[in-house]
Amino acid sequence: MSMAVGPNQGIKNEINVTPLVDVVLVLLIIFMVVTPMLQRGKGVVLPKAHKAEGSQDRPDPLIVSVTNDKRVYVEQDFVGNGAALEQRLKREIEANPGKDILLKGDNRLEYSEVRKVMENARKAGAKGIQLGVEEIKTETAKK
């Protein structure tokens, strides 16, 4: 509520929407800034699976992505194949020995391309690699 100034002084029964608009705009800006940070690694089209298993209780894996054009990224950094990838993974594994590796291979790649990255990770000292998949949601409820 607000007070009127002038000859018709008194309380107005109108809602002041300016603070509401301010709050909504601030929330919009926050979501615009945070949303790109939610996806880690490079964007790839993941293969689909009916049941995705893995250690979901273990947070923050190291994301290794292989895009459709056979480019390899560790998190958002392009590293390439072969020795450069192996050295980067070796540094990451030495810095965080218990950290899991999540390999996100594009669905359109041949398996041999993803297998090369897995072999480089093994040479770098990775104990295990999880493969990223997109889980197919099925309706299990009976009507």
Q: Are strands 2-4 and 10-12 parallel, antiparallel or unpaired?
A: antiparallel
Q: How confident is the model at residue 143 (pLDDT cuts 50, 70, 90)?
A: very low
Q: For tokens 């000292």, what's the residue?
A: 125
| Domain extents in the chain | 2-38, 48-135
Q: DSSP for 10-74, please give it.
A: EEE-----HHHHHHHHHHHHHHHHHHHHHS-S----PPEESS--S-TTS--PEEEEE-TTS-EEE
Tell which CATH architecture fits domain 48-135: 2-Layer Sandwich (3.30)
For 37, the token pair is: 């940070």
Sorted by sequence, the CB contacts under 8 Å of residue 85 that are 6+ apart come out as 72, 74, 79, 117, 120, 121, 124
pLDDT value of position 96: 85
pLDDT digits (tens, 9 = 90+) for 68-96: 888 899 888 888 878 888 999 899 888 88
Percent residues over pLDDT 70 in the chain:
74
Q: pLDDT per residue over 26-59, tens digit each?
A: 999 998 888 766 666 666 766 777 766 655 556 6
Choose between 141 and 3: higher pLDDT: 3
